[in-house]
Amino acid sequence: MTYTYVIVKDPTNEDFKALCKRIGELYPGYEQKGGKKYADGAENARWEKGEFAITAELEATPAVLTVTSDEELPELEREYRLKEKERRKHERRERRLFYNTFMGSSARVKFLLIPGIIFVWFAVNLITVFGDWYSDPTDFVIDYFFTVVGIVSNFWTFLGWLWLLPAGAAVIWAARFKNPVIIKLLTAALPVLSVVYGCMRFGMRVAEIFFGSLFIGYASLPVMYMAVLPYLVIDEIACRRLLKLTGERPSKTMSVICWVLSFAASAAVLASFSIVENRLYYG
């Protein structure tokens, strides 16, 4: 079981240093295994004792200083006079999958900011181009919504969203090996395997129609983003688990490289299937 203690809100770096020093004094059986600083001001430190670990984390957004432990820390709780009600409230929130996955600083960009910008921008373009076709703005919104949802549902069906459940669970489980390269490579392999699945099950004719839907200009960007959303969710959960186990996430450079390789490999799979099927069809 994991225990989470909210030490203080709106902390300073001095608060973090004082906390780290006090943990070392209160729990001499734990050995400090280092920590990491981030560009946004966040910072963490980790102590280990056998299979047990204590992690102190200074979060930048929202600004809060927390301690996560594999065993209860009553001495620390008494030291900082932590309120039982506040601690339990924070633990319940931390257990929520939505909060852990979608409310981290980088996750907010991927799952809230970017989709919001994409859909607002394309909605404005739609109004500019097709606004005169609709006497009622409600009809316009409904058509736009169901067009995007319909294409996205076809994307997920083609890519085999159902098999992503066990595959995603396997990637998340692999975080226990505490190797960021393994996590990123496994995640990057999922879109490639999805394209292979779609081409083998539905054939290139369906695949060409399917990817041809991307040429619907006003819907292409939101559709593409929604199509890759399941992979982003799996990646974020796995990275969060890795962060909890090791105190570190995979680097941004590694992430970019893996996603570029994934896109290139997926495109190569589509091209290969197309060439093979055309040769078989036309002799």
pLDDT of residue 46: 93
pLDDT of residue 54: 93
pLDDT of residue 161: 79
Helix (H) or strand (E) holding 183: helix 180-212
* Cα gap 167→189, rounded to integer Å: 10
- Name the DSSP letter for residue 251: P
CB-CB contact of 75 with 82 (8 Å):
no
pLDDT of residue 88: 57
pLDDT of residue 85: 47
* Cα gap 268→173, rounded to integer Å: 29
C-alpha dihedral over 202, 262, 167, 213, to 10 degrees?
-40
> Tens digit of pLDDT for each residue in 201-237?
877 666 666 666 555 555 566 777 777 888 888 888 8
* Cα gap 154→164, rounded to integer Å: 15
Where the chain has pLDDT below 70, the residues are 82-108, 125-126, 129-135, 137, 204-221, 281-283
pLDDT of residue 103: 52
* Cα gap 134→127, rounded to integer Å: 9
* Cα gap 67→14, rounded to integer Å: 15
CB-CB contact of 20 with 45 (8 Å):
yes
